Amino acid sequence: MNLMSNFRGRLKQYFTFKDSVSKRYGNGLYVFNYHRIGNPADTEYDPNVFSCSVDNFEQHLRFYKSNFCMLDENTLLELFRDKSYFDKPYALITFDDGYVDCFDYAFPLLLKHNLSAVFFIVTDFVDGRELAWWDKVAYLLKNTTVKQVQLPHWSKSYPIVRSNIAKSIKGILKAFKDDSSLSIKDKVSFLEQACNVDLPQKVSLYLSWHQIEEMLTAGMGIGSHTLSHPILSHLSDLEQMEELASSKVKLSKALGQTPTLFSYPVGKAGTYNSVSEDLVNKLDYQLAFAFKGGVNTQLDMSLRYNIDRVSVDGDKSVEELARFIFKVI
């Protein structure tokens, strides 16, 4: 009797939770962004890039399907072309950077649930030709024996705490992002010297062109995330043009289809600028995505190159994800 009573109580709690979620989501465009799927404890590189476990990702998909009108790239573009306001809660799933987890874990689950997502590709990373700069930083910090690091032009040093290496990595990456005095390449080079560690030359962290083509053929969207994932506001106008234009050309040639969507690297306020937005327009990208953590409620031209997204991270359960979304509405 106690077991049956407990079961009924949990069932009632579930449906109460589901009903409250459905009623509370207002009209708008909710874009849920992921990076990596899996276990951060298993990586030699940046553990902070993991969004959630495989099991939680599947639960997220069920949650989205139950509470939102789900979009793919084509229906998203139709929405901007045909409507002047959001008439219901719409949702889009996106992935940044192009990690191979997208193909191994996310892609099969999306197909299983008859859903699509847009994958934003850093073209220099494809086929493991280049290691992402934040993964380089993480690898160096995880493998060095030094206890703190300080680049020559920094006013202070940063501790490397072995017992909380993820936090140390996060803090030093923030210093990299805030520092516009040198290029990312130069900062990584200084850090490599300070750590006295050699970086791996080739990695299998990222998607191959064959995998990207397979996902595209199966109905996934493929967009540009620049050539090398720089902080665009730290670049000259010409350097920004090279990042946005060349990545588009490479994707077009490799896939036989011109990308219409773009996402700004990092995407937070101050990491891209009006030049970035002008270039997105001039290069004929149809939509561009930022990363400021909000929900889009006004469907107008000002949104076209500043579509906001919500970061899914911290391996949230469905209940935690729902509560988090309520906070940003």
Residue at 19 is within a domain: no
213 shares its domain with 310: yes
SS3 177: helix
Give the residue numbers spanning the domain of 140.
133-195
Question: Does 247 map to a domain?
Answer: yes
> Any idea which residue has 């010297």 for tokens?
193
The answer as to whether 299 is a domain residue is yes
Tokens 């008439």 correspond to what residue? 87
Per-residue confidence (pLDDT) for residue 185, from 0 to 100:
92
Query: C-alpha distances in angstroms, 74 versus 106, 115, 257, 328?
Result: 20, 13, 13, 26
Report residue 259 as tokens.
């990308």
Same domain, 223 and 115: yes
Same domain, 228 and 126: yes
Residue appearing with tokens 């896939």: 255
In a domain, 200, yes or no: no
Q: Which residues contact 158 (CB under 8 A, 6 or more apart)?
A: 148, 149, 150, 168, 171, 172, 175
169 and 284 assigned to the same domain? no
Going along 24-76, which residue ranges are E strands?
A: 28-34, 36-37, 50-52, 69-70
What region does 289 belong to: left with phi over 0, alpha with psi -120 to 50, or beta? beta
- Same domain assignment for residues 40 and 183: no
Phi-psi region of 49 (alpha: psi -120 to 50; beta: other; left: phi over 0): alpha
Same domain assignment for residues 154 and 270: no
Is residue 79 situated within a structural domain?
Answer: yes
Compute CA 13 distance to the chain's CA centroid, rounded to the nearest angstrom.
Answer: 32
**Are 113 and 143 contained in the same domain?**
no
Q: Can you tell me whether residue 121 is helix, strand or coil?
A: strand
Predicted confidence at residue 17, as pLDDT, reads 40
Number of domains in the chain: 2
* 295 found inside a domain: yes
pLDDT the model gives residue 20:
44
**Same domain assignment for residues 170 and 315:** no
Note whether residue 102 is domain-resident. Answer: yes
The residue assigned the tokens 């997204």 is 309
Phi, psi of 142 (to 5 degrees): -70, -25
Are 232 and 284 in the same domain?
A: yes
Whether 187 is in a domain gets the answer yes
Which of 174, 195, 216 marks a domain boundary? 195
Question: Quick one: 289 and 310 in the same domain?
Answer: yes
CA atoms within 13 Å, Cβ hemisphere of 58: 9
Q: Please, which residues bridge with residue 289 across strands?
A: 263, 307
Backbone phi, then psi, for 273, in 5-degree steps? -145, -170
Of 84, 125, 77, whose CA–CA distance to 101 is shortest?
A: 125
Residues 165 and 302 both lie in one domain = no
Same domain, 155 and 299: no
Residue with tokens 């099969």: 108
What are the structure tokens assigned to 228, written together? 């090398």
Low-confidence spans in the chain with pLDDT less than 50: 1, 3, 7, 9-22
CATH number of the domain within which 276 lies: 3.20.20.370
